[in-house]
Structure 1
Amino acid sequence: MTTILIVEDDDAIRNNVIRMLKLEGYEIVSATNGRQGLERARAERPDLIISDIGMPEMDGFEMLEAIRADDVLGSTSVMLLTALDDRASMRRGMTAGADDYLAKPFTRVELLDALQGLLKKKGRIEASIESAVREREEHLRRAFTESLGGRALPDKFALAPPKGAITDTVVEATVLFSDIRGFTSLAEKLSSREVAELLTEYFDRICEPVLKNGGQHLRFIGDGLMAVFSDNMVETSPLPAARRAISAALGMALSTQDYRSWLGQRFAQRGLPAFAIGIGLHCGEVTIARLGTTNNKETTPIGDTVNMAARLESASKELNWTVVASNVVLEHAGEGVLTGGITSLEVRAKNVFMDVAEIVGLDASEEDKLFGMATLADRANEVREAVQINSEMTARAVKGALQSKLSAFKDFAPGDEPLRLKGYRLTRKIGSGGMTEVFLAVREADGLPVVLKVLDASGKATSEHLSRFIQEYTILSRIDHPNVIRIYDQGFTDDHAYIAMEYFEHGDLRAEIKMGMTPSRVVEIVREVALALEAIHERGIIHRDLKPENVMRRPDGTVALADFGIAKSMMQQENMALTQTKHGDVVGTPYYLSPEQASGQAITTQSDLYSLGVMMFEMLTGQRPFRAETLNLLLAHHVSAPTPRLPEAHAALQPVVDRLMAKKPADRYASARELLDDFAEGALSRTLVERR
């Protein structure tokens, strides 16, 4: 319902207007003078204000000026009531920012017509703003989609003037351009809400040094920030615009350093890539274009200087510098600017170069200290609102881009144009199961084949699947061992998640078991799996699902342990974060379960060793040690049945199998290392002799 504030000191007029508008279905609040009207406006935030001019304590003009200066109420539509022949008041009111006026006395029809006209105007402005936001969000979404696909990034910042914009002023200024490096890599690992939170916190921190150093026309586009520093715009500081821009850039770098600490605490254990920003600075002529009405206009700095600052920001990643400034900026900044590297960049066209420098510090003079810290702090609320809107829009755009990419995977078929995702090119679908699609892909940087697992994480029934999916990456990203599968990358949208991992063209161990294995090959496989278990156990991880299908073969004959989807950390705090398994649940594959897993008891590293013993028996004999017609009977065998005997040809390895498959964990090898030592000292040596 539309809320209208009536501010009128004449009781008869006020009550009459209230009565007429209530009959039309409007929500009405009222005040008897400008001071009360301003208080009610701040408390109620009405859609429209109708106010008399001549009132005690605060008149209509003063109230209007206070409303236009308020960050929250500034765009509220205001209609002033004036005397019929008071042309001066009309002009003053319109100049002060009134949207319309109505001369007294007025009829009910005149009031309603004027009111409808204002509401329609307000609706057009809101629709225009909403359309512009949608257009910008779609532009960002396309840009992020191209970035995820590995193609050249288009004009992500949309620096061309908006449609209908007209030139307002042309100034000599220094333009600051900043961007977050690898933003999509960050956003992939977070939800939309978390991305918005990340950006809001980031912009809140880096805007402070920009505002304090006189930055104006701040524009937030995606993960980027643009600001203009001009000598003509700031009268309170005699410092050169270029010097203030350098001070702001260095302040942003310091704020980013503090922000990294916040990021690490807020998103601990999420595997976020290192956070870094790039900043470009350039001096020259800047055109300020504007779009909208006098009271509702958006200003956009445009021109070659703006484009060049954006180019320098982009070059910061190539150069591995945080702040890149053109030689023009250095010439205008004065003494005391500390530089690191110096080079030339190709700009605009071939064989046209610009000298640039890395800015690493600024020796502050007494004048710097006196005038460098206060200019536009009064715009903090306005900037904060812009930051919030941009953060939410960017979160939707980048998550929408990734969502589109992952959704396209479901319909991917051989012969289609290759799909790309963050440096990976899909070649074919190699499997699916439940909510997971598995694709063979190529890492474009070096042509390495990888497996891309994509999980549909939408719906209420998927929380456990998503938890295990996240857990698998979290665990493996901490392990670098030749006998453990390599994980290259992970990303998320709100509805999908993916993991890029090592591809094994020779498949898993099951095929080799079916073909038959020599004792020496069995021992070698057991040894390598034990090395993998040693590596994960040292990091407090229990695999819990050791079986031939999770032991992958490489072309050189070595093997790697894979599929950590139900692995579990032995640290209590990680137990709570990484798994939803309840005490008493049976997890793992029944044929390879340890007695404690079969009975739902506490699981230890020796549980993995039992499963390795079952695998060893199967590799030597071609059959599993325990088989049964029902699951309960199979579990009972694991709990109480004695370990079967190996064929006579493998009798030398029976003590190893017996110890691995002991019913009590305390009777098994104390660790994978103890098993490896046993092989080195005895059974392995005998087996190798037999092989010769």
Structure 2
Amino acid sequence: MTTILIVEDDDAIRNNIGRLLRLEGYDIVAAVNGREGLELARELKPDVVITDVSMPEMDGFELLEAIRAERALSATSVMMLTALDDRASMRRGMTSGADDYLAKPFTRVELLEALEGLFKKRTRVEETIQTAVQAREEHLRRAFTASLGGNHVPDKFGLEPPAGAVTDQVINATVLFSDIRNFTSLAEKLNSAEVAELLTYYFERTCEPVLTNGGRHLKFIGDGLMAVFSDTMSGTSPLPAARRAVSAALAMALAAHEFRSWLDKRFAQRGLPPFAIGVGLHAGEVTICRLGTIQNKETTAIGDTVNTAARLEASSKELGWTVVASDAVLRQAGEGVQTGGMTSLDVRGRIGFVDVAEITGLVTNLQDKRHGMATLTERANEIRAAVQVNSEITARAVKGALKSKLSALKEHQFQPGQEPLRLKGYRLTRKIGAGGMTEVYLAVRETDGLPVVLKVLDAAGKGMSEHLSRFIQEYTLLSRIEDPHVIRIYDQGFTDDHAYIAMEYFERGDLRSELNQGMTQPRVLEVMVQVTRALDAIHARGIIHRDLKPENIMLRPDGSVALADFGVAKSMLQPENFALTETRHGDVVGTPYYLSPEQASGQRITPATDLYSLGIMMFEMLTGERPYRAESLDLLLARHLSAPTPQLPDSHAALQPVLELLMAKKPEDRYKSARALLQDLEDRALLRTVAGGKH
């Protein structure tokens, strides 16, 4: 029900308006003066306030100003009651932000028509706001899609004046632009809620130094922030605008450094790229445009100075600087600005070069300390609300862009002469496989021409969340490992129902083809050593593979091997902030021919589980046959549980003790670790035989 607050000191008028509106079905509350009306407005959040102008304690104008000053009430529709000939009050009311006025005396029809007009106006405003939000999100989505495709990224800020904008003032100011570097790569590895959380936490911390130093007209678009520092704004510090902008930029860099510690702790073991920001500063003439009505006024800065500041921020990554400032900023900022490198940039959209410098520090003086550069802190709640909305929009946009990109892969036709499809710096060349929910593509990394495999999962169906979790887990586990005998994973990204992994490409395929052709004992030992080293590396990171088999041992061109396919691997560490897919006791995970007894019986697994599977592989590599076969899965599992370790042929008898320890039924009877297995092989001088090339 629509609630209307009537604030009128005349009992007859107040009661008459209340009676008329109650008959129309409105919920009515009333106050006899502005002070009481403001208290009721704060408590009830009415849809409309109808207030008289002349009242004791707090008049209608004071009430209107108080309503517009409070964020929770600022959008409330306000109708003012004035005398028929009081044109001055009408003008003052409309200038102060009143939505409409009604001259006394008025009829029932006039009152209802005025209210109907207010509701229509409010609906139009809400629709305009919703349209603007949707347009902003779509603009971001296009920018993120271009970034994911490796194409030119459109300006996320939309630096052209918005349609319907009215020039409010032209000022001399310093403009600050900041952005998170490689934001899409970071956002890909988090879900939508986590992206929003990250941005909210980041902006709350980096906005503080901007506000403290007198930054105004803050604008959030995606992972970027723009602020204007001017000497002409009332209430700002007498310190030069450029100096305050430099101070804010350096404080933002410090806040970002502290934020990095939070990020590493909050998303530990997630394989996030290093966090960094870039800041650009430029000084000159700035046009402030106004959008919307007086009470819902939004301002934005445009002009060459704004564009140049944005371009300087964009150049910060290539320059390797955090804060890039133009010569105009340095001239106006005063003494004590510390600089690093200096160069000239050809800024897109400008004629001629811009001299720039890296800002590394600011030596404060007595005047800096006296004035404290502290203003606009009363806007903290407004900024916090803007940050929250921007964070949610950005999260939807970046994850939506990735989803669209991955969905397009399924429809793409790899035809000669067709423009190649790109994803995050990878150029797709052909589709090389598909199975179930996963499709596999061959791609080329554009920076160096390295062939890679892109594995894409579509888990949009009902009950597919577990598959998506395991797919994400594969990257999460492997991103922490750097070992020559573990598959290299280059990148990963996911949405709520899509994911991809960019990984090493093995032209020679897996070990099965070599095993089928027959392997010599020295070659078997060479593979054993390399796989054992891979197991040592992953076990040291608390990871158990759980599915060791020839199909998961990949061949490189030089004959070395790498352990791959960690889709069912399990972390023993269980990171605090990332719950991996759990397997209940009794569930069988892995390939039956290579299962350990504890896997077959659904018992607790340990690193020794992988050693048992390696023992199975060792027997198969030496003999060309699997140690256990059966007509049914139950019989096969029973043999893993109770059948004796098979005997190797006489030609491999020296390795029987190794096999016995690897395939012991009880985990505690096996090698204590992969490192212990390597030591045993060394003690038997087998490693020296392999290293000496005595094949």
AA partner of residue 342 (structure 1): M
Q: 1: distance between equivalents of 2:309 and 2:351?
A: 19
In structure 2, the residue matched to 1:13 is 13
In structure 2, the residue matched to 1:448 is 450
In structure 1, the residue matched to 2:431 is 429
Query: Does the CA-based 8 Å contact 1:464-1:580 persist in structure 2?
Result: no
Q: 1: distance between equivalents of 2:402 and 2:31?
A: 51
In structure 1, the residue matched to 2:385 is 385
Question: What is the CA-CA distance between 1:685 and the residue it aligns to?
Answer: 7.1
In structure 2, the residue matched to 1:547 is 549
Deviations 1:434-468 (A, max 9, x none): 33222222111111111112223445623322332
Question: What is the CA-CA distance between 1:587 and the residue it aligns to?
Answer: 1.9
Question: What is the CA-CA distance between 1:402 and the residue it aligns to?
Answer: 0.9
Deviations 1:402-453 (A, max 9, x none): 1111111222332264222211122222223333222222111111111112
Q: How does 1:569-588 map to 2 (within 5 A)?
A: 569-571=571-573, 577-588=579-590
Q: 2: distance between equivalents of 1:681 and 1:199?
A: 55
TM-score by length of 1: 0.95
In structure 2, the residue matched to 1:228 is 228
TM-score by length of 2: 0.95
Deviations 1:284-311 (A, max 9, x none): 1111122222222221211111111111
SS where residue 269 of structure 1 aligns? Answer: coil
Query: Does the CA-based 8 Å contact 2:237-2:373 persist in structure 1?
Result: no
In structure 1, the residue matched to 2:153 is 153
In structure 2, the residue matched to 1:47 is 47
SS where residue 395 of structure 2 aligns? Answer: helix
Question: What is the CA-CA distance between 1:93 and the residue it aligns to?
Answer: 2.0
AA partner of residue 614 (structure 1): I
In structure 2, the residue matched to 1:240 is 240
Q: 2: distance between equivalents of 1:165 and 1:229?
A: 21
Question: What is the CA-CA distance between 1:186 and the residue it aligns to?
Answer: 1.4
Question: What is the CA-CA distance between 1:538 and the residue it aligns to?
Answer: 2.4
In structure 2, the residue matched to 1:315 is 315
Alpha carbons of structure 1 residues 349 and 384: separation in structure 2 relative to 1, 3 Å = closer
Query: Does the CA-based 8 Å contact 1:147-1:153 persist in structure 2?
Result: yes
Q: Which runs of 5 or more residues in structure 2 are unaligned?
A: none
Q: 2: distance between equivalents of 1:131 and 1:577?
A: 38
Q: Is 2:632 the counterpart of 1:630?
A: yes
Deviates more, 1:237-246 or 1:67-76: 67-76
Query: Does the CA-based 8 Å contact 2:144-2:398 persist in structure 1?
Result: yes
AA partner of residue 519 (structure 1): Q
Q: How does 1:268-667 map to 2 (within 5 A)?
A: 268-348=268-348, 352-415=352-415, 417-458=419-460, 461-571=463-573, 577-667=579-669
Q: 2: distance between equivalents of 1:259 and 1:192?
A: 19
Q: Is 2:51 the counterpart of 1:56?
A: no
AA partner of residue 479 (structure 1): I
Question: What is the CA-CA distance between 1:96 and the residue it aligns to?
Answer: 2.3
In structure 1, the residue matched to 2:673 is 671
Q: How does 1:77-226 map to 2 (within 5 A)?
A: 77-226=77-226
Q: 2: distance between equivalents of 1:350 and 1:232?
A: 26
SS where residue 171 of structure 1 aligns? Answer: strand
Alpha carbons of structure 1 residues 98 and 575: separation in structure 2 relative to 1, 3 Å = closer
Alpha carbons of structure 1 residues 94 and 535: separation in structure 2 relative to 1, 3 Å = closer
SS where residue 442 of structure 1 aligns? Answer: strand
Q: 2: distance between equivalents of 1:134 and 1:567?
A: 41
SS where residue 228 of structure 2 aligns? Answer: strand
Alpha carbons of structure 1 residues 329 and 683: separation in structure 2 relative to 1, 3 Å = closer
SS where residue 453 of structure 1 aligns? Answer: strand
Q: 1: distance between equivalents of 2:624 and 2:174?
A: 75
Q: 1: distance between equivalents of 2:265 and 2:350?
A: 46
Query: Does the CA-based 8 Å contact 2:193-2:395 persist in structure 1?
Result: yes
Question: What is the CA-CA distance between 1:530 and the residue it aligns to?
Answer: 1.4
Alpha carbons of structure 1 residues 442 and 27: separation in structure 2 relative to 1, 3 Å = farther
Q: 2: distance between equivalents of 1:346 and 1:575?
A: 44
Q: 2: distance between equivalents of 1:282 and 1:259?
A: 25
Q: 2: distance between equivalents of 1:386 and 1:503?
A: 45
SS where residue 616 of structure 1 aligns? Answer: helix
Question: What is the CA-CA distance between 1:234 and the residue it aligns to?
Answer: 3.8
Question: What percentage of aligned pairs have identical amino acids?
Answer: 74
Query: Does the CA-based 8 Å contact 1:406-1:496 persist in structure 2?
Result: yes
Query: Does the CA-based 8 Å contact 2:171-2:230 persist in structure 1?
Result: yes
Q: 1: distance between equivalents of 2:31 and 2:431?
A: 69
| Number of residue pairs the alignment of both structures matches | 692
Query: Does the CA-based 8 Å contact 1:519-1:687 persist in structure 2?
Result: no
Deviates more, 1:43-52 or 1:569-578: 569-578
Query: Does the CA-based 8 Å contact 1:643-1:661 persist in structure 2?
Result: yes
Query: Does the CA-based 8 Å contact 2:244-2:373 persist in structure 1?
Result: no
Question: What is the CA-CA distance between 1:348 and the residue it aligns to?
Answer: 4.3
SS where residue 577 of structure 1 aligns? Answer: coil
Deviations 1:341-368 (A, max 9, x none): 1122122479932221111111111111
SS where residue 684 of structure 2 aligns? Answer: helix
Question: What is the CA-CA distance between 1:574 and the residue it aligns to?
Answer: 7.1
Question: What is the CA-CA distance between 1:478 and the residue it aligns to?
Answer: 1.5
Q: 1: distance between equivalents of 2:574 and 2:214?
A: 51
Alpha carbons of structure 1 residues 331 and 157: separation in structure 2 relative to 1, 3 Å = same
Alpha carbons of structure 1 residues 348 and 508: separation in structure 2 relative to 1, 3 Å = closer
Question: What is the CA-CA distance between 1:622 and the residue it aligns to?
Answer: 2.1
In structure 1, the residue matched to 2:259 is 259
Deviates more, 1:178-187 or 1:260-269: 260-269
SS where residue 679 of structure 2 aligns? Answer: helix
Q: 2: distance between equivalents of 1:536 and 1:13?
A: 81
Q: 2: distance between equivalents of 1:349 and 1:45?
A: 48
Deviations 1:299-345 (A, max 9, x none): 12111111111111111111111111111111111111111111221
Query: Does the CA-based 8 Å contact 2:615-2:659 persist in structure 1?
Result: yes
Question: What is the CA-CA distance between 1:243 and the residue it aligns to?
Answer: 0.8
Question: What is the CA-CA distance between 1:121 and the residue it aligns to?
Answer: 1.2
Query: Does the CA-based 8 Å contact 1:431-1:437 persist in structure 2?
Result: yes
Q: 1: distance between equivalents of 2:81 and 2:193?
A: 45
Q: 2: distance between equivalents of 1:22 and 1:389?
A: 36
Alpha carbons of structure 1 residues 167 and 463: separation in structure 2 relative to 1, 3 Å = same
AA partner of residue 642 (structure 2): S
SS where residue 136 of structure 1 aligns? Answer: helix
Question: What is the CA-CA distance between 1:17 and the residue it aligns to?
Answer: 2.4
SS where residue 461 of structure 1 aligns? Answer: coil
Q: 2: distance between equivalents of 1:519 and 1:385?
A: 68
AA partner of residue 97 (structure 1): G
Alpha carbons of structure 1 residues 12 and 198: separation in structure 2 relative to 1, 3 Å = same
Q: 2: distance between equivalents of 1:570 and 1:481?
A: 19
Alpha carbons of structure 1 residues 69 and 310: separation in structure 2 relative to 1, 3 Å = same
AA partner of residue 463 (structure 2): A
Q: 2: distance between equivalents of 1:300 and 1:686?
A: 72
Question: What is the CA-CA distance between 1:660 and the residue it aligns to?
Answer: 1.8
Q: 2: distance between equivalents of 1:575 and 1:280?
A: 34
Question: What is the CA-CA distance between 1:100 and the residue it aligns to?
Answer: 0.9
Deviations 1:507-543 (A, max 9, x none): 1111222222222222222222112112222222221
Question: What is the CA-CA distance between 1:163 and the residue it aligns to?
Answer: 0.6
Alpha carbons of structure 1 residues 374 and 668: separation in structure 2 relative to 1, 3 Å = closer
Deviations 1:89-137 (A, max 9, x none): 3233223221111122222211111111111111112211221221111
